Structure 1
Amino acid sequence: MLSFLNAARKSLTRLAIPAAGAAVLALAGCQPVAVGGGGPSIDTSAPVPVALLVPGGSGSAGDELLARSLENAARLAIADLGNVKIDLRVYSTGGKPAGAQAAAIQAVDAGARIILGPVFAQNANAAGVAVASRGVNVLSFSNNTDIAGGNVFVLGPTFQNTANRLASFAVSQGKRSVMVVNDRTAAGEIGRVAIERGVANAGGSVVARVGYEFSQNGIINAAPEIASQVRSSGAQAVFMTADTAGALPLLTQLLRDNRIDPSVAQFIGLTRWDIPTATLGLPGVQGGWFAMPDPALYQQYQARYQAAFGEAPHPISGLAYDGIAAIGALVKRGNAGALTAQALTQGSGFVGVNGIFRLRSDGTNERGLAIAQIRNNQVVVIDAAPRSFGGAGF
């Protein structure tokens, strides 16, 4: 036990680094631009100029890897478009808002009709502001809905979309009474609100809520209170905002140590519990539910990417593929208004390597997610991702 707790507590030294594929893109952003949202006309008989903004040039090895992976994914998607021609132009932002602003302006001056990226929320916001008056839309890789709206769309999986999917499934399985447990951080509070809305939308009830200080001692001190409220409230599920790079390993183990049985009060995670894969071996997460993109489609993408580029793709690189797939699907129709906000938000959505998705008029997105459970240190899909909108899961 001591060795496990030491390992779990060490994870808390990385609290400022959110888990990949979950809160990694949810950085603080400014308010979205309230203008734009139309889009320029295009010549569908010629290659469509698309700007890809990546975090290259920041001096960070991680940013360089991400930049390369995003570009590779975009080019893989372009190769899959057949007769649709995309003129991809790649710009480095240096990982900073000022760099994103300059890159966006340079791209539009050079003729870009839409911008794909950048990654981080502040950078995406800066890019959107810079080109809003030019009528160019930005499909950012962020999942921070604070920057969504006007000419900025977020492609990253949002807390609300994930919470809706998980809450709906939980209620369908008889887990109607839900307790919310959240980090007392900006992301944790956003996650808490998303869970509460999701539970209400699904017809369930939030019967208790506990927030904890985002630190080792905060989690240790809160665990007995959380356990007590689980028992006294009769909660059938404990829905947590914690992620694998932060509180999750320690929190789940402490709840078990305080005699909370996940088979009675189901553990549910708002974030991905399978990244990194080492998390799957932790005793505290066994039996837990979380949402993930369609694993069959994503595994096909991973294999193709590995074969094409000789390395594994970055976990969020698939968003670049999805963005190109959406652009290509719209351009293929031969409509000069293919990249307007009206076209981008068409209700039938698109299919990418992460499954089905569609963009909403408020700049957010909906994604078809699978429900997974950790069993015997492995991920098992217990409810498949929907393959169309309007079916199960929506």
Structure 2
Amino acid sequence: MLAVFRKTCTKARAALAGVSMMALAACDPSLVTNALPGGGAAGQSVDPGEAVPVALLLPTSDSNGGPVARSMENAVRLAVADLAGKASIDLRVYDTEGSAAVAGQKAQAAVDAGAKIIIGPLFAEAANAAGRAVADDDVVVLALSNNASIAGGNVFVMSTTFENTANRLMSYAARQGKSSAVILHQKNLGGEVGRNAFTAAASRNGMSIVDTVSYDFNPAAATAAGTRANAAMQSTGADTLLITAEAAGSLGLVAGTLDASAGQSIGLTNWDNSQVLSLPSLQGGWFATPDRGRLNTFESRYSARYGSPAHPLSPAAYDAMAAVGTLLAGGRRDALTTRALTRSNGFEGAAGIFRLRSGGTVERGLAVARVANGSMVVIDPAPRSFGGS
């Protein structure tokens, strides 16, 4: 999701090597426009009886994005193999070189060569450029970013968003009787987006945000923020502390001074990390996680096929192709339109169920886990279907 450190674009891309789910954010906070203004349906008509050209745009030659790009390409090829006999895919791979300008050019070239849909690019700026380049061609882009600011029109973001995670956690918290919360966040783009996601999700689930504690990223400020959060919990009587920091960022620093007995701690980022799970102040804390059973199956199949572990971001790429193939297998000429892609019952993915929303974001079926004695324990399993579908 959105980077916890305030970095240059180059440094944010370098963070991909550390497998942070936050690293796919736009480096430019001004990147807040949809790829295609307005609503309505978009997408190409296809002949499901013929091989359908699908373009995959990834920063293959980019020094920092290359490793995750290669894993994502492998995941897409695994999905194509799984579709054998069900749908015929003509996969065409384009290198965006880690450049938004090149991504726009390659997207247009792919469509000019007959591509009916685009999977990728990876970085938000590149995905935004690709979406804009092919909007007038009525081609859908399944971007592998998680930056919801580029979603809409002909662009979907496939990676889990802060909004998706916050909604899952706040829904569970409300069902457990939690009613008021303090938000602890860093003063940067990621922290502010996380704060907004928690605020909206709390309101949606009948919880009140009674105070907010923010901090600059430096050891002294982050450590002091934990103490201030303790005081805010006590003075307001809040029963929940919402934390946006990630393991690779300031989480360890703020956790060092948090009081585990002050209330229920909830993390917006993935705490399934041995260092985080061992932090005394986070014992009993909650966080969201993918469907581990399905994710483990995907990772095992990937390793067996390619002889190396899958990058943690690669399931989104598998899912993009799986959604495309599932709809094509149904024999629909409108399979690649926004109307078909946003079907209410969604799709089976590498890490659980997911569905694409009309606003261009993805909703994933997440589990809620608890930190318990240095381990992760699932306390509310990921759903196996979407209610009301």
TM-score (ref. length: structure 1): 0.90
In structure 2, which of residues 204, 209, 233 is the aligned counterpart of residue 230 of structure 1?
233
Look up the match of 1:131.
134
Look up the match of 1:24.
23
In structure 1, what is the Cα distance between the partners aligned to 2:51 and 2:221?
55
Count of matched residue positions in the alignment of Structure 1 and Structure 2: 374
Residue identity in the other structure for 2:268: L
* SS of 1:153 mapped into structure 2: strand
Look up the match of 1:76.
78
In structure 2, what is the Cα distance between the partners aligned to 1:153 and 1:192?
23
Look up the match of 1:371.
368
In structure 1, which of residues 109, 117, 120 is the aligned counterpart of residue 120 of structure 2?
117
Shifted more, 78-87 versus 309-318: the winner is 78-87
Please tell me whether the aligned partners of residues 175 and 237 of structure 1 are also in contact (alpha carbons under 8 angstroms): yes
Deviation at 1:12? 7.6
Look up the match of 1:67.
69
In structure 1, what is the Cα distance between the partners aligned to 2:32 and 2:59?
19
Residue identity in the other structure for 2:270: R
In structure 1, what is the Cα distance between the partners aligned to 2:139 and 2:23?
26
Is residue 34 of structure 1 aligned with residue 37 of structure 2? yes
In structure 1, which of residues 30, 47, 50 is the aligned counterpart of residue 51 of structure 2?
47
Look up the match of 1:386.
383
* SS of 2:333 mapped into structure 1: coil
Deviation at 1:373? 1.4
Residue identity in the other structure for 2:73: E
Deviation at 1:223? 2.6
Please tell me whether the aligned partners of residues 155 and 364 of structure 1 are also in contact (alpha carbons under 8 angstroms): yes
In structure 1, what is the Cα distance between the partners aligned to 2:385 and 2:5?
39
Please tell me whether the aligned partners of residues 225 and 254 of structure 2 are also in contact (alpha carbons under 8 angstroms): no
Look up the match of 1:3.
none
Shifted more, 286-295 versus 322-331: the winner is 286-295
In structure 2, the CA distance between the partners of 1:94 and 1:284, relative to structure 1 (3 Å rule), is farther
Is residue 304 of structure 1 aligned with residue 306 of structure 2? no
Look up the match of 1:320.
317
* SS of 1:254 mapped into structure 2: coil
Look up the match of 1:212.
215
* RMSD of aligned residue pairs (Cα, Å): 2.0
1:59-86 deviation digits (Å, cap 9, x = unpaired): x1x4221111011100111111132111
**Percent of counterpart pairs with the same letter?**
47
In structure 1, what is the Cα distance between the partners aligned to 2:46 and 2:327?
11
Aligned residue runs from structure 1 range 248-267, under 5 A: 248-255=251-258, 260-262=259-261, 264-267=262-265
Please tell me whether the aligned partners of residues 290 and 365 of structure 2 are also in contact (alpha carbons under 8 angstroms): yes
Deviation at 1:266? 1.1
Shifted more, 152-161 versus 19-28: the winner is 19-28
Aligned residue runs from structure 1 range 148-227, under 5 A: 148-227=151-230
In structure 1, what is the Cα distance between the partners aligned to 2:370 and 2:219?
26
Please tell me whether the aligned partners of residues 58 and 121 of structure 2 are also in contact (alpha carbons under 8 angstroms): yes
TM-score (ref. length: structure 2): 0.91
* SS of 2:183 mapped into structure 1: strand
Give unpaired runs (5+ residues) of structure 1.
1-10
In structure 2, what is the Cα distance between the partners aligned to 1:234 and 1:30?
36
Shifted more, 208-217 versus 188-197: the winner is 208-217
Please tell me whether the aligned partners of residues 318 and 354 of structure 1 are also in contact (alpha carbons under 8 angstroms): yes
Residue identity in the other structure for 1:26: A
Please tell me whether the aligned partners of residues 202 and 208 of structure 2 are also in contact (alpha carbons under 8 angstroms): yes
